[in-house]
Structure 1
Amino acid sequence: MTTTGFGIDVGGSGVKGALIDLSTGEMIGERIKILTPQPSTPEAIATTVTQIVEQAGWAGPVGITLPSVVTGGVARSAANIDKSWIGTDAVALFGKALGGRAVTVLNDADAAGIAEDTYGAGKDASGVVILLTFGTGIGSAILHNGVLLPNTEFGHLQVDGKEAEHRAASSVKEKKDLSYKHWAVEVSKVLTTIEDLTWPDLFIAGGGISRKHEKWIPLLTNRTPVVPAALLNTAGIAGAALAASKI
């Protein structure tokens, strides 16, 4: 099996790439980051991705995350990137930009979920593992014994008449200046709704607010265990690299 891979995580503010040790999920060397071009059109992002790969001197397959639903290699939605992504064949676009090499493209939360399940907080868990990233919205990934069910959108789940991410994203906490105690009540409502539908064995809480997990995870009242994500900023890159290694 290949022991080194390359992943790129496309975000609304930055495009980040790194070599990944596929046995551990750890970065090899420095992460390369270029500010997301504005407007963040498919062509502009493809140019940025090419710059990162060339700067790294990487010649193998490349895994790329998008803040989009991705089916059959095609972007079906666009969160924090230009709306012209919708309907774009991302695999064909990046493959052409990178000289015809093998490329895989997946949703950013799915990539983080794969990485956490393989290398991070879920590596010793069996059964159904759900990663939720709490940020501007709520991203989600669901895995069963290491197998991803792609493109879940639990952030858009209706919880007591309101979308989950409008209730419990970390941006809502900031906007409404909620205490951790009050925000945890909203997070618990979302988790309880998800667990009533899917009966997971473990929740992994990601996003920047997971760094302060000791302030809010103990306050949650849902029944399923919740643990903080372990990989933080490298999860998307590591998951993308791992997905590309299986092309």
Structure 2
Amino acid sequence: MLTLGIDCGGSGIKGSVLDAEGEMVAERIRIKTPYPLPPERFVRTLKRIANKMPEFDRVTVGMPGMIRNGRVIRTPHYPTVGGPYTPKDPGLVEAWRNWDAQSILSTAFDRPTRVLNDAEVQGAAVIQREGLEVMFTLGTGLGCAVYNDGRLAPHLEMSHAPIRKDATYDTWIGIHKLRELGPRKWSKRMLEVVEGLRPVFLWDHLYVGGGNARRLTEFLGDDVTIVPNVAGIIGGVRAWDLEIGD
């Protein structure tokens, strides 16, 4: 069984074909996320990746935002006029609202397709299925996924929760703040976030991944593991085995 895993972010969309063990059997392809990005262009972009890949049997797509039963309830970046932190286009907001990504992509690929939040797919690659495990992804913003004994909990959009009077987690530790502060000061801020959320989740283990995890310079704790960003693709295999909580 070969799986096409596609990891969709605010700045880049990456993909590769994986064998049953989650090993890549094709070179990873990355395409810069195009904007403006109506759903139809999103589908074409994913098919560009698929067309450069060897044959596959099924598809896993991880994308940012609230994805529920394969439908896009809300996605933060794609309805903007020019990418993350640019104004929203009302027409694109409406086009993405309740978009049935899983059904439409299944038809486009002519393969069984599973669509989940990108942090949920990344977490599927690394969790041990023991106790309460949490996945944070550090990319354009903050992604989050929670698992209890391997069972995926309902999604939380932590990125849009307030952390200060005038800041959300996205604006507090997102990529713009990393560029503004530099890795050392940004890492200290990330340590404060982890220490602040530890008593909220009471996780048994926290995994931190995403494209910016490699920029961390602070030790986050014995209960924290930094994982490579490629997990966003290779989780595409184990994502099919996830039990999803109500």
Pairing 1:187-202 to 2, within 5 Å after superposition: 187-202=190-205
1:88 equivalent among 69, 85, 99: 99
Separation in 1, partners of 2:130, 2:98:
35
**Number of equivalences:** 228
Pairing 1:116-195 to 2, within 5 Å after superposition: 116-117=126-127, 123=128, 126-161=130-165, 162-175=167-180, 177=181, 180=184, 182-195=185-198
Task: Label 1:179 to 1:243 Cα distance change in 2 as closer, same or farther (>3 A).
Answer: closer
Aligned to 1:33, the other structure's residue is in SS state strand
2:113 matches 1:113: no
Contact 2:62 2:116 in 1 (8 A): yes
Equivalent position amino acid for 1:187 in 2: M
Task: Label 1:212 to 1:163 Cα distance change in 2 as closer, same or farther (>3 A).
Answer: closer
Aligned to 1:56, the other structure's residue is in SS state coil
Residue of structure 1 in register with 2:214 after alignment: 211
Separation in 2, partners of 1:89, 1:16:
21
Give the TM-score, by structure 1 length: 0.80
Cα drift, residue 72 of structure 1: 1.7
Consecutive unaligned residues in structure 2, runs of 5 or more: 80-92
Separation in 2, partners of 1:93, 1:57:
22
Percent identity over paired residues? 29
- Residues 105-154 of structure 1 show CA distances to partners (whole Å, capped at 9, x for unaligned) of 0111111111122xxxxx4x731121212232111111222222242222
Pairing 1:22-41 to 2, within 5 Å after superposition: 22-23=20-21, 25-41=22-38
2:46 matches 1:49: yes
Separation in 1, partners of 2:71, 2:233:
19
Separation in 2, partners of 1:134, 1:10:
13
RMSD: 2.6
Aligned to 1:27, the other structure's residue is in SS state coil
Give the TM-score, by structure 2 length: 0.80
Separation in 1, partners of 2:162, 2:212:
22
Aligned to 2:143, the other structure's residue is in SS state strand
Aligned to 1:239, the other structure's residue is in SS state helix
Task: Label 1:89 to 1:179 Cα distance change in 2 as closer, same or farther (>3 A).
Answer: closer
Task: Label 1:174 to 1:54 Cα distance change in 2 as closer, same or farther (>3 A).
Answer: closer
Separation in 1, partners of 2:173, 2:215:
15
Equivalent position amino acid for 2:200 in 1: L
Consecutive unaligned residues in structure 1, runs of 5 or more: 118-122
Cα drift, residue 44 of structure 1: 1.1
- Which of 107-116 and 14-23 deviates more? 14-23
- Residues 83-110 of structure 1 show CA distances to partners (whole Å, capped at 9, x for unaligned) of 33222111121122123x3111011111
Aligned to 1:28, the other structure's residue is in SS state coil
Task: Label 1:28 to 1:92 Cα distance change in 2 as closer, same or farther (>3 A).
Answer: same
Contact 1:114 1:239 in 2 (8 A): yes
1:241 equivalent among 237, 241, 245: 237
Contact 1:40 1:81 in 2 (8 A): yes
